[in-house]
Structure 1
Amino acid sequence: MSQSETLRSGAEPTEPTEPTEPTAPAVAPTGSRRMESKFPRGLVIRLIAYLFVGHLFAFFVYLLFVLGARNQ
């Protein structure tokens, strides 16, 4: 139970209310550190697909404008 919950419930706190010292973060094993630095495989595939499809669509729209300008 946190200090604020203890105060709201009206019960006496059983632990001292002094702030505790922050603890040092645990050292992650090398395998999980490598996993954090890489993107998930599905995300990379979708990113490449969206970029390819987006550029293909932009080229198609550009081509429509170029061909439309020639026909005037």
Structure 2
Amino acid sequence: MSGSEEEKRQARGVALRVLVYVFATHLFAGFIWLLFWAGGQHM
């Protein structure tokens, strides 16, 4: 495998990792928001 192909493969891996981290962070933030929303309904 040439250096250029290896760099492209690594770049795709980094991009995929960033997308997964962003998705997971938003999912976690949404869950926290849901907890606050549900807690506020009982006041």
> How much is the aligned-residue C-alpha RMSD, in angstroms?
1.6
Letter paired with 1:59: G
| TM-score, normalisation: structure 2 | 0.73
Compare CA radii of gyration and give the structure with the larger one. Answer: 1
Same amino acid, percent of matched pairs: 42
Q: How many residue pairs are counted as aligned between the two chains?
A: 36
Poorly superposed stretches of 4+, deviation over 3 Å: none
- Structure 2: gaps spanning 5 or more residues: none
| TM-score, normalisation: structure 1 | 0.45
Q: Which has the higher contact order (CA 8 A, sep 6+)?
A: 1
* Larger relative helix fraction: 2
